[in-house]
Chains A and B, each alone.
Chain A
């Protein structure tokens, strides 16, 4: 019987020829990455009476450690700084070679930049946005730190084989409409549980024409739809990208023509407008123009959802020769130093700085409120991953979520606008 991409990846990694949705398997993991919470694993083990805490990992070449959430340490009560010291000591104790400290950027972008994410492979990270790796045809999914303790010892973990839903996207996106709007269309139309426990497969001419940056955004955001995996086929763009950076050999997966899908959704991309999700959920979505009277205090672009070159290019294109509104703080955070440098070389950062943007170093802050915290009553429009109550500081702040184009345009206007008004 035909298999979906998720079934093929899990079959391959659990040594089976044929598996189907609903079964449980123990799958071998190709690569893991752990950030600031790495030390929680040692702590959890010690508290459970495991002598010596974490003393080994199954394969050092498969364990990437870095610090990205509060990086470099941002607190003067030094709890975070002390945690970072503990992480560095643990890395030394285990003699782990793939440690990037606070120096590389956001985990998911670093994993992509450095060639750890490969078509057909299987990667787990203690982070919900691990679904992002599906953009490169890699089965990526989040787990918790506790489960990661198991993976670090045995290099494997149990998984239920998910059902798959297919999303077929066709039609040309209008000018000013981007990958983020495709995601917002799905969350607004079908809700944030449409893919609960499921794998998503994104196909169709519009998906083929998207850049890898656009696909990475959609795959990243798919966890907000409940997805376990969010997979794209490996095409020439994918293969060209991984060719010179792959850390090991790989073999892409393709869905079989007779693969079984729980449901198929069709999206007419040509009908989409620039969209905005309103506070505090990603389910209530309307065209940007609908929110025209919403004044904003802050406009963020960055994180693992939208801190890539294409996102920064959009911000630069819209803000070129313009000025961020006097009542607005606009924060742009490239997702990694690789992205930062590319954006610098292309002149985007200079354009943004001239417009009055705060360009920050690569870390998770623009998405988590760790930098640019919102006070009660303030309003943020953000091209990051979530608009949940309290995510960026005060629970009395409001967060709207949109594409980098919509956010950049709104930063100029001082209120939410359709980016096409300034293109």
Chain B
């Protein structure tokens, strides 16, 4: 299979961006269209204006820590984020991204490799994943996505995989 390539402009956030910040509970229940206007507002006003479809979201330590709330992941789909890469990613946020079919990577040092507005290229090779700063150079690499997770990602998320499974008569 050909290497999958994800290329996009970097939108960058800091350390410990928790899910109360990504998806504030006072807006969460109003639906994703409303939530979109308020995501990250506690740390960055009008964040949605800074994100364009295809952008790659880069975070620092423990991205997505806190509550398991899925709107904090769903909102990335709404914003059109093509991948999330952070120095480290909280366990539940990581699982939810995979479940939604959003490529997610915990790569220590990524926040030093790229800055806001720079172009990054992510290449999913068979034996590794590489992260390249296309604007000013520099590269990091990580282990490939484990097979269990890759299957979910390739299907486009758990619901799509579930649909396939149910259609097969399970």
Closest-CB distance, A396 to chain B (whole angstroms): 9
Q: With A126-B68, A144-B99, A395-B42 in contact, do A389 and B162 touch (Cβ < 8 Å)?
A: no
Say whether B136 faces chain A, with CB atoms less than 8 Å apart: no
Of B85-93, B110-118, B122-130, the segment with at least 4 beta carbons within 8 Å of chain A is: B85-93
Contact with A along B153-169 (1 / 0, CB 8 A): 00001111111011000
The residue in chain B whose Cβ has the minimal distance to the Cβ of A75 is B29
Partner of B162, one of A50, A128, A281: A50
Most buried by B among A45, A47, A223: A223
Contact B68 A144 (CB under 8 A): yes
**A370 and B166 alpha carbons, distance in the complex (Å):** 38
- A196 within 8 Å of B (CB atoms): yes
Q: In the complex where A146-B96, A228-B91, A390-B24 touch, is A48 in contact with B67 (Cβ < 8 A)?
A: no
Instruction: Give bound CA distance, A24 to B146, whole Å.
Output: 9
Q: CB-defined interface of A141-153 with B at 8 Å, one 1/0 digit per residue?
A: 0111111011001
Check if A197 is an interface residue, CB within 8 A of chain B. yes
Return chain B residues, CB-CB under 8 Å to A142. 68, 92
Is A193 within 8 A of B88, CB to CB? yes
Report yes or no: B16 in contact with A144, Cβ–Cβ below 8 A. no
Establish whether residues B148 and A386, one from each chain, have CB atoms under 8 Å apart when the complex forms.
Answer: no
- In the complex, which residue of chain B has the Cβ closest to the Cβ of A394? B26
| 30 A/B residue pairs, CB under 8 Å, sorted by A | A24-B148, A48-B160, A50-B159, A50-B163, A70-B29, A79-B30, A126-B70, A128-B67, A142-B68, A144-B68, A144-B95, A144-B99, A146-B70, A146-B100, A147-B96, A149-B158, A150-B161, A153-B166, A154-B170, A160-B146, A193-B62, A196-B90, A369-B25, A370-B25, A386-B18, A388-B18, A388-B21, A390-B24, A391-B20, A395-B24
Is the beta-carbon distance between A48 and B159 smaller than 8 angstroms? Answer: yes
**Majority DSSP secondary structure for residues of A touching B:** loop
A230 at the interface (CB under 8 A from B): no
Query: Interface size of A by Cβ–Cβ distance < 8 Å?
Result: 48
Q: How far is the CB of B95 from chain A (nearest CB, A)?
A: 6
Question: Do B66 and A128 touch across chains, with their CB atoms under 8 A apart?
Answer: yes
Interface: B73 (CB within 8 A): yes
Measured CB to CB, the nearest residue on chain B to A146 is B99
Chain A residue contacts of B148, Cβ below 8 A: 24, 158
Chain A positions within 8 Å of B162 at CB level: 45, 48, 50, 149-150, 153
Using Cβ atoms and an 8 Å threshold, which residues of chain A touch B165?
A: 153
Residues of A102-149 contacting chain B, CB below 8 A = 126-128, 142-147, 149
B19-61 residues with Cβ-Cβ distance < 8 A to A are 20-21, 24-26, 29-30, 41-43, 61
A175 within 8 A of B: no
